[in-house]
Amino acid sequence: MRDLVAGSAPGTAAPSERDLVERFGVARMTVRQALDALVAEGVLQRFPGRGTFVAPPRRKPSRVASFTEDMATRGTVAESRTLAAEKVRAPAGVARALGLGPREAVLRWRRIRLADGSPVCLSDCYINAALAPGLLDGPDLPASLYDELAARGRRPTWAEDSLSAGVATPEEAALLECKEGTVVIRLTRRALWEDRPVEVSRSVYRADQHTLSFQLGV
């Protein structure tokens, strides 16, 4: 069946159950089970009352993008101002999210993220120190966290994001150069490399300077 539809344009009618029974000399139930399996895989799609057709190719999940990569797709230049780069004992919530024991060491990297020179995001990131030893050592910090993790073979392959709306606190307003009470978007991320949590971050975006976009599919 795969060979029969291989190379067919999306929307092409698949052979009927009767045709397949006659072609392969098998029971109709066997044909139906095979078609059901190909529908579940996304090779075919079924429309009640119309029939079964070749499905369009499924989109692959979007790659977990860094701020630098996100800005590049928008045609803007990303920059960072580091506010803190240190090794600290993990706060309780961070330790749980990273799968660490109480008060284990993590790397904390707090930055103002800029797009074309304008501050749009305040990011507070905690990194599993055991997976990225020495990442924040030395005077020259990485331009991109995910690029540095990729160079170590530990770039996040999966991320769990949580969004909420809020207003800027006095500290956030001062750092993001906006008025206190300005609407902001709060993004919490837990990023995993394979099945190991490597990063937990809390970011605050100016809603008047940044739009968060997503690709969704089935």
Walk along the chain (218 residues) in steps of 10 and give the mean pLDDT of each run. Answer: 84 90 92 87 84 78 78 88 95 92 92 94 96 89 92 92 95 96 95 92 93 66
Same domain, 47 and 75: no
Same domain, 72 and 30: no
Whether 45 maps to a domain, the answer reads: yes
Same domain, 143 and 50: no
Same domain, 123 and 89: yes
Bridge-partner residues for 125, per DSSP?
A: 109, 201
Whether 59 maps to a domain, the answer reads: no
pLDDT the model gives residue 65: 83
Same domain, 102 and 167: yes
Same domain, 178 and 75: yes
Torsion of CA 127, 128, 131, 135, to 10 degrees: 40
CATH code for the domain in which residue 7 is found: 1.10.10.10
Residue written as token pair 């707090």: 110
201 closest CA partner among 123, 118, 115: 123
CATH code for the domain in which residue 195 is found: 3.40.1410.10
Same domain, 76 and 174: yes
Same domain, 129 and 43: no
Same domain, 13 and 99: no
Report the domain count for the chain. Answer: 2
Domain that holds residue 171: 67-206
pLDDT the model gives residue 39: 85
Same domain, 41 and 79: no
Same domain, 201 and 154: yes
pTM: predicted TM-score of the whole model, two decimal places? 0.70
pLDDT the model gives residue 62: 59
Contact 200, 159 (CB under 8 A): no
The tens digit of pLDDT for each residue in 169-192 reads 999 999 999 999 999 999 999 999
pLDDT the model gives residue 216: 61
The tens digit of pLDDT for each residue in 76-109 reads 899 999 999 999 999 999 999 999 988 899 999 9
pLDDT the model gives residue 10: 87
Same domain, 93 and 40: no
